[in-house]
């Protein structure tokens, strides 16, 4: 017999699940959802989860993301690993997809806040040049001048303050 707590609603029913003749017999649940949860938990436990992903902007260093649907619990760390190696380098807001069909699980990793997008819009940085080379990309407004230079003016010295355009090539990322 396996003891488990249903996390489907705040009642947090304490349940017992036992396999009898190939069927999971569940007790302690106050509703049918507890039975479903227990069966899922005993065969292929699933979870949703939220975390944050880095951005290329010091003023908004991270933005929140979550998986769009439940995924197998044992895949969470693998997905976290993937997210931890990413840096958002373009305006992204609530509902935008960061990783489509992550690990082939038919779930996307999506952004859950527009804080970065709003920051970039408020500061006219949508077409952020990131470096003087960005003039080659057509960035001509003052806002699109090199962030590295801007940062230098602000006295920053971190590695992140190097040219983002160059970083993209180095990291082989395609989030533009």
The residues binding ligand SF4 (CB under 6 A) are: 6, 8-9, 11-13, 29-31, 33-34, 37
Chain residue at closest Cβ approach to ligand SF4: 34
Nearer to ligand SF4 by Cβ, of 11 and 113: the residue is 11
In the complex, minimum distance from the CB of residue 22 to ligand SF4, in angstroms, rounded to a whole number: 22
In the complex, minimum distance from the CB of residue 74 to ligand SF4, in angstroms, rounded to a whole number: 22
How far apart (Å, rounded) are the C-alpha atoms in residues 138 and 3? Answer: 62
- The candidate with the shortest Cα–Cα distance to 47, out of 84, 9, 75, is 75
Nearer to ligand SF4 by Cβ, of 41 and 96: the residue is 41
DSSP readout, 72-127? Answer: EGGGHHHHHHHHHT-EE-S---TT-EEETTGGGSS--EEE---HHHHHHHHTT-TT
Q: Which residue, chain included where needed, has tokens 């699933």?
A: 46
Nearer to ligand SF4 by Cβ, of 1 and 169: the residue is 1
Nearer to ligand SF4 by Cβ, of 6 and 147: the residue is 6
State the CB neighbour count (10 A cutoff) for residue 105: 17
In the complex, minimum distance from the CB of residue 4 to ligand SF4, in angstroms, rounded to a whole number: 10
In the complex, minimum distance from the CB of residue 73 to ligand SF4, in angstroms, rounded to a whole number: 17
Beta bridge partners of 26: 17
């Amino acid at each position: 017999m396996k003891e488990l707590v249903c996390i489907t609603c705040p009642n947090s029913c304490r349940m017992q699940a036992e396999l009898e003749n190939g069927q999971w017999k569940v007790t302690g649940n106050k509703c049918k959802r507890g039975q479903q949860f227990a069966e899922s938990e005993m065969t292929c436990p699933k979870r949703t989860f939220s975390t944050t992903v880095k951005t290329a902007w010091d003023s908004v260093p991270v933005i929140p993301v979550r998986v769009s649907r439940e995924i197998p619990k044992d895949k969470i760390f693998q997905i976290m690993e993937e997210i931890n190696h990413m840096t958002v380098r373009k305006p992204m807001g609530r509902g935008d997809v960061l990783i489509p069909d992550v690990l082939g699980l038919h779930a996307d990793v999506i952004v859950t806040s527009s804080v970065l997008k709003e920051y970039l819009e408020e500061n006219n940085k949508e077409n952020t040049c990131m470096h003087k080379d960005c003039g080659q990309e057509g960035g001509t407004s003052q806002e699109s001048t090199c962030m590295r230079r801007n940062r230098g003016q602000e006295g920053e010295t971190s590695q992140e303050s190097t040219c983002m355009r160059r970083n993209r090539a180095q990291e082989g990322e395609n989030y533009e």
